[in-house]
Structure 1
Amino acid sequence: LRELDSLNNWVTNFINESKATDEQTIKLAVIERQQHFDELIKYCHANNHEVKEKLKNLIKMWNQLTSM
């Protein structure tokens, strides 16, 4: 799934860049992407795609990002 890879790359890059980013900017970016994240996770689960490791990794990174 390109969508999953794309969001995974975005989260990875954003986490790496967030060390120099203020908290307000991080919160705004997360809010903007939250619906996309939720829809992608729901789609992958509903369609039983074999991307479990990618999903686990993405969810872990997303939780890390949202807890900043």
Structure 2
Amino acid sequence: RRVPSQVWRLVPKFMNKNLQSDIKKLEQSDNPRDILAAQLVIKEIDQPGSTKEQWKELELPEPIYQA
């Protein structure tokens, strides 16, 4: 099930094998927002605090979740 891309911002602090699998799936997504989210999660794990300003694009509303 798809979730809003900005939700992945919470993942780095809780990374485990199951979440690693999810991040790999995100990297394979057709949705560029999912791909960006995966890249940011990986970068944040490698360099904590390095992605703070880069999540802004994913904080915009996603059409699928608008009423």
- TM-score using structure 2 length: 0.43
Structure number having the greater helix percentage: 1
What is the TM-score normalised by the length of structure 1?
0.43
* Bigger relative contact order, structure 1 or 2 (CA pairs below 8 A, ≥6 apart): 1
